[in-house]
Amino acid sequence: MADSSFDIVSKIDHQEVDNALNQTVKEIGHRFDFKNTGASISWSGQQNIEIKANSEERANAALDVFKEKIIKRGLSLKILDSGEPKLSGKEYRMMIALKEGIDQENAKKISKLIRDEGPKGIKAQIQGEELRVSSKKKDDLQDVITLLKGKDLDVALQFVNYR
C-alpha cells in the first residue's frame, strides 16, 4: 500500500491582505480619532506595507486597526512582521513585512517536533520552503495535524495536498 502524505506550507492569501488593507484605509479615513493626524497605510512593494502618521501612538493605532481587519479576514497575525515607528522628518513611519514560506530553522524545528512527539512511522522531509509529511496510516497524519495546530509556532501553517 502506498504512503499517504500532506504538505505543510506557509502561504499568504495576498487578495485577503489587500482587502484588509483597503478596509483599514477606509476606517482610518472615517474615524474621528484619525482626523488631522496624517495617518495612512499603503503597499510599499510586493511584500511590505507602510504606515505613516504624525505621532507614534497614531501609527500604532493604525497598526491595531490593520491587525483587526487581518483577523476578520481569517488570516493569522503570524504573517505580519512589524517594526517600531521611526521618526522620518515630521512623521512617523512603520514598515510591516509579510512573512511567507517556512525558513530552514523553523522547518527543522517542526520536523524535530513531529519526530519527537508524533506517532511512530511518520516521515517529514524538508522541501525548500515546505515540509512533506508521509505515513502508511492516514490516522497518523491526522494526529500530526492536530499536534501542530496545538503548538504555538512562529509561522502560520496550512496543510495542503492531503492524499
Reported as a single tens digit per residue, the pLDDT across 59-116 is 999 999 999 999 999 999 999 999 899 998 899 999 999 999 999 999 999 999 999 9
Q: Which fold does the domain 4-11+102-160 belong to in CATH? A: Alpha-Beta Plaits (3.30.70)
Residue carrying C-alpha cell 497605510? 41
Task: Please state the domain extents for the chain.
Answer: 4-11+102-160, 14-98
Name the residue among 149, 103, 163 with its Cα closest to residue 129: 103
pLDDT given at position 2: 63
Residue range 14-98 in CATH 3.30.70.990: yes
Topology agreement, domain 4-11+102-160 and domain 14-98 = yes
- pLDDT tens by residue, 125-151: 999 889 999 999 889 999 999 999 998
Q: What pTM was estimated for this model as a whole?
A: 0.86
Residue 163 pLDDT > 90 = no
The answer to whether 52 and 91 are in contact (CB under 8 A) is yes
